[in-house]
Amino acid sequence: MSKSRSDLSNNGRATPAEQVQRLESDGFVLLPPVLDAETVATLLAVSRERLQAMRSALGTKDIGIGSAAGYDEIVQRSPGRWDVPITPQQFGVVDRDLPWWGLISAILGEDAEHLFSGVVSSDPGSPAQYWHTDSPHDSREHLPAHAINVLVALHDIPLTMGPTECARGSHFLSNHLSNPSLVLKELIYQHEGTAPETLVGDTETEIPEACAQAMVAGSCLIFDDRLLHRGLGNQSDNTRHVAYFSYRQKGYTANTHFEATRSVVEVNP
């Protein structure tokens, strides 16, 4: 069951070292507003403009669920949940100047690289996603994170609008290489049978706690790419907009986020 817990946020009191420790142990950390109102407003304006342009370009073209069924410029992650890539340059920001860069570099190294960025928008009435991870483990032994996602609230997101729910500590348990009962495709692609309890099966291992909390504009949820998570359903009358910035350890090449091989924009010869 989802929980609204004050300890998901450090409320500005945690030191950078404590933020790193929480990200490594829990697999995620929720930071209070770290972006000023003007920057948030700019990110939101760019997101809305790009989203509208890509949905207009999509028109009546067919689009399925998931990255391979979408387009280079727009993906439907789950029913009513639209993912549109936007570069840092298009957002008007520089990765290394963003307030979370210190945490990213502490985990992934100073030579960490930008992987993806954009906006995910959830239409009113869109259902909750199935639990999933964003990338697989690449060793039987548990290694430090190889990719990290940052989700930025572009406006206040109450629980009714469907913030992201995380399974605490599940990045330790989502390793299909050390647990043969796990099916990789059912982890990194949304599958109705996947849930925190499936990571432990019939063992006595404690089921990871599912946690979700409302977000205020400018706050950000930072999590290990291997963490089991899902966007909750949008039960409000308004569209939910969340910007994302994803980073990878230099040399890490696994890519399951954007797999489309077609463009929604028709290019005339």
Mean pLDDT of 157-161: 98
Q: Report the 3 state secondary structure along 212-242.
A: CCCECCCCEEEEECCCCEEECCCCCCCCEEE
What is the reported pLDDT for 68? Answer: 87
What is the reported pLDDT for 269? Answer: 43
In a domain, 94, yes or no: yes
> What CATH code is carried by the domain that includes residue 79?
2.60.120.620
In a domain, 5, yes or no: no
In a domain, 269, yes or no: no
In a domain, 268, yes or no: no
Region of poorest pLDDT, from 1-15, 40-54, 118-132, 198-212: 1-15
Percent of the chain with pLDDT over 70: 93
CA atoms within 13 A on the CB side of 182: 26
Q: What is the mean pLDDT of the chain?
A: 92
Phi, psi (5° rounding) for residue 132?
-165, 165
More confident site: 140 or 267: 140
What is the reported pLDDT for 13? Answer: 67
In a domain, 50, yes or no: yes
Domain hosting residue 97, numbered range? 13-248
CA distance 164 to 155: 14
What is the reported pLDDT for 259? Answer: 77
Sign (positive/negative) of CA torsion 133, 134, 140, 143?
negative
What is the reported pLDDT for 258? Answer: 73
DSSP letter at 178 equals T
Question: pLDDT category, 223, cuts 50, 70, 90?
Answer: very high
Question: pLDDT category, 158, cuts 50, 70, 90?
Answer: very high
Helices vs. strands in the chain: H and E counts, helices first: 5, 10
In a domain, 263, yes or no: no
Residue 255 confidence (pLDDT) above 70:
no
99-146 pLDDT, tens digit per residue, is 999 999 999 999 999 999 999 999 999 999 999 999 999 999 999 999
In a domain, 264, yes or no: no
Count of domains forming the chain? 1
Alpha-carbon dihedral of residues 151, 155, 157, 161, nearest 10 degrees?
-100
What is the reported pLDDT for 256? Answer: 65
In a domain, 254, yes or no: no
